[in-house]
Amino acid sequence: MSESEQRVVGRVVIVGAGLAGLRTAEELRRSGFEGDVVLVGNEEHLPYDRPPLSKEVMRGEKDDTTLKPREFFDDKGIELRLGAQASGVDVDTKSVLFADGTELSYDQLIIATGLEPRRIASFGDLGGVHVLRSLDDSLALRSELAPGKRALIVGAGFIGCELAASFRAAGVEVVLVEPQPTPLAAVLGEEIGGLVARLHRDEGVDLRCGVGVEALKPAEGGRVGSAVLSDGTVVDVDLVVVGVGSVPVTGWLAESKIALAEPADGGGVLADEVGRTETDGVWAVGDVAAWRHSTGNQKRVEHWSNAGDQAKALAKALVGAQSGPAAVPYFWSDQYDIKIQALGTPSAQDTVHVVEDDGRKFLAYYSRDGKLTGVVGGGMAAKVMKARAKITAAAPIEEMLGS
């Protein structure tokens, strides 16, 4: 790194103290940034890891998923402002506005506010109805679990499927409803979704696909007591979890002049291939950020590994250094004793080639226009990771299939 790059100074304010925000602060220091770094979070907790909330935390295996101790922030000269709710940005004065009426000036602003779960307004405010985003959400939900209780999980995406697995480990009876034909159909397609469905049914989950929830009915005391499904079935339940996806946390930017993607396109803060927005001094990273990709499209990528990859690229760009090659996208989901892993950019619109399936574990290649786009495996870690170079090279699918 050149001497001029190492002297980059000023105040960087990162709004959002989740994984993406923390990793960006780390990478700024690692890249030689010597100015002030302020990491702002709306929760009182130190930055923590969210994937375990539906798994290890829910199963009672751990209560703390803190990513770094407080001493780390002191050592790196990163100022923490926790319990601070950002309410707006004045891009003309370069100030972040907060709900308590205070302001914080910046030279560079990095938006890392992540996602919030969708709610179903018609469910009202019945007791026993949950969403899962925060550590507090996870602990509150865990406190309701007990053998013999019956839970309704609405939505068989990754969160819904992981919760179903954790609930079964706690002895909870699970009814999992999904309007699409299979779990994960929108992400991985119906063929792999069918294999995931088999896994859950084998574990005793009452999985009902092609079905939604029309209404929740109260029991005595104002708690949920039953659910009316779209096929007319009535299900008695002790608790409900809504897992119907998430939306980017951008409401606080509505009056800021910072360009946002349309909700129909997934929403989020529009940014280039290193996180830079069209607004001077404003960047975006992580789940909230709709980065420009090699196709020219701008889209959000909601994967744990993506947060770290983007943080590195953004920090390098901010200090004027050269970024390395883009990493192959990767994500995973732990369900029962199976780790479902996806490498590359598999899509529900791709052609799926299931090359191994022993009734529980499986491996599949995804192709588009005759080229390998991704690999998805359940319990096949080594074989998934072995395909990284082939995905980078967009290998012909015939080569992968051995024909």
Cβ-proximal residues to 84 (8 Å cutoff; 6+ apart), any chain: 40, 41, 42, 98, 100
| Three-class DSSP category at 140 | helix
Helix/strand number for the chain, H first, E second: 11, 26
Structure tokens, 128: 């026993």
pLDDT of residue 117: 95
pLDDT of residue 303: 81
Residue (of 41, 43, 25, 101) closest to 283 by Cα position = 25
Strand locations in 210-313, DSSP E? 213-218, 224-229, 234-236, 239-242, 246-248, 269-270, 282-284, 289-292, 298-299
User: How far is 269 from 271, CA to CA, in rounded Å?
Assistant: 6
pLDDT of residue 321: 86
The pairs formed by 186-194 with CB atoms below 8 angstroms and a separation of 24 or more are 186/157, 186/348, 187/157, 187/158, 187/348, 188/342, 188/346, 188/348, 188/376, 189/346, 189/347, 189/348, 189/349, 189/350, 189/352, 190/348, 191/352, 191/354, 191/364, 192/352, 192/354, 192/362, 192/364, 192/376
Structure tokens, 199: 């896994």
User: How far is 253 from 149, CA to CA, in rounded Å?
Assistant: 41
Max Cα distance, the chain (Å):
70
In contact, 4 and 100? CB cutoff 8 Å: no
- Scanning the structure block, which residue is given the tokens 């909330």? 53
pLDDT of residue 5: 41
pLDDT of residue 134: 96
pLDDT of residue 8: 59
- pLDDT tens for the chain, 403 residues long, are 443 344 456 999 999 999 999 999 999 999 999 999 999 999 999 999 999 999 999 999 999 999 999 999 999 999 999 999 999 999 999 999 999 999 999 999 999 999 999 999 989 889 999 999 999 999 999 999 999 999 999 999 999 999 999 999 999 999 999 999 999 999 999 999 999 999 999 999 999 999 999 999 999 888 999 999 999 999 999 999 999 999 999 999 999 999 999 998 899 999 999 999 999 999 999 999 999 877 678 888 888 888 999 999 999 999 998 877 677 889 999 999 999 999 998 999 999 999 999 999 999 999 999 999 999 999 999 999 999 999 999 999 999 998 4
Helices 190-202 + 158-169 axis angle, to 10: 10
Beta bridge partners of 282: 109
pTM, 2 dp: 0.92
